[in-house]
Amino acid sequence: MHRLLFPILALCVLACAATGDPALAASEQDPRKVTLYGMFHQTPEGGIVFNNAEEPDAVYLPFDPGSIMGEVVNIQVQVQGEIRDSFTRQGKNYRILAVSDIRPMTAEYGSTTIEQGQRFGLPGADAGQIHAYHDKTCYLYDRYAVLETLASYSDGHTLRVLAHAPGDSKDAVCENLEGRPLFEILNGGDFSFAGLSGDTLFVRNGPADAIHGLMAVNLATQKQTLDATVVPGSSLDKGTLRYSELLGPHAAQKFCPAGQTAIMPMALDLKTGTPRDAGKPVCRP
């Protein structure tokens, strides 16, 4: 029985090819059908072009620019369509796109602004892409996405961190932060995102310009490596977090005159997750 299977399959394939099976014909066109994430812009000459952040050297020209309504210009959208033609001019790849569907990516999040190559949080933190919505902010890095949301039932923050592949569409990642989070704080009160360095996430509890809590979490191992009360001035340098920790009352009595607080300079090795003294205690009123 098994020996007859291959000749029968071969005959079916030949029959489909000879009769022009519509399913086969449709599959041949699929590579020309695309789903893109980006923004329509109006050129100085009055034309309409579409730019996709994942393809900086590509410019999409709508096949029927008159069908692009003003309300979808200069906002983040998802576009579905078919590439009809392409050509190269002055180092740019131009593609004629027959648009079949446009979905504004502001339906859930409100108006969107995007900043490229921005450093956020502690000085020395990694640069990423920031998507700012009306009630939440998405911080995108090569391997991680951090979504910070204003909680609807309190004045606090909700933090959610997930991993993503470097080749993922950045717009799609921010719109679809799904799956099991690597780290999450629900109804976090004064907790807020304080930056990322490699695999290490930093979370601040309280205002940065006053004494506050600082937490570090290694996302690769999903282990917390720091939970300290610090004074303003923490920074990152060559894989090390430098911070000044507020010591407890017992330490203050040991190192400082009555009524003063003790501050210990510290350094956290991000690779090992090990803190160490980086100086002598300093007394402050």
Mean pLDDT of the region 239-244? 97
158 & 233 share domain: yes
In a domain, 26, yes or no: no
55 & 193 share domain: no
Q: Give yes or no for residue 240 having a pLDDT over 60.
A: yes
Q: Give yes or no for residue 253 having a pLDDT over 60.
A: yes
Q: 235 pLDDT band (50/70/90 cuts)?
A: very high
145 & 36 share domain: no
- Dump pLDDT digits (tens) for 182-230: 888 886 667 889 999 999 999 999 889 999 999 999 999 999 999 999 9
In a domain, 118, yes or no: yes
Residue 40 CA to residue 32 CA, distance in Å, equals 20
Question: Which two tokens mark 27?
Answer: 């599959």
Q: Report the candidate in 55, 48, 56 with the shortest Cα–Cα distance to residue 96.
A: 48
In a domain, 2, yes or no: no
Q: Report the candidate in 183, 278, 250 with the shortest Cα–Cα distance to residue 221.
A: 183
Residue that terminates a domain, selected from 70, 104, 138: 104
- Rounded to the nearest integer, the mean pLDDT of the chain is 80
User: How high is the pLDDT of residue 178?
Assistant: 64
- The tally of domains found in the chain comes to 2
Mean pLDDT of the region 21-32? 50
Residue 138 CA to residue 66 CA, distance in Å, equals 33
50 & 130 share domain: no
Residue that terminates a domain, selected from 104, 130, 146: 104
123 & 97 share domain: no
**CA–CA distance from 232 to each of 31, 183, 194, 209 (Å)?**
54, 25, 13, 6
195-210 in b/e form (b: 16+ CB < 10 A) is: bbbbbbbbbbbbeeee
Q: Give yes or no for residue 7 having a pLDDT over 50.
A: no
The CATH number that applies at residue 168 is 2.40.128
Domain interval for residue 221:
113-284
165 & 246 share domain: yes
Q: Give yes or no for residue 110 having a pLDDT over 70.
A: no
57 & 151 share domain: no
122 & 72 share domain: no
199 & 231 share domain: yes
**CA–CA distance from 250 to each of 253, 255, 266 (Å)?**
5, 9, 18
User: How high is the pLDDT of residue 188?
Assistant: 62
189 & 272 share domain: yes
Q: Report the candidate in 182, 201, 181, 179 with the shortest Cα–Cα distance to residue 192.
A: 201
93 & 136 share domain: no
User: How high is the pLDDT of residue 225?
Assistant: 96
Residue that terminates a domain, selected from 86, 104, 122: 104
The CATH number that applies at residue 84 is 2.40.50.140
pTM of the model: 0.62
In a domain, 36, yes or no: yes
In a domain, 7, yes or no: no
Q: Are 241 and 124 in contact (CB under 8 A)?
A: no
In a domain, 6, yes or no: no
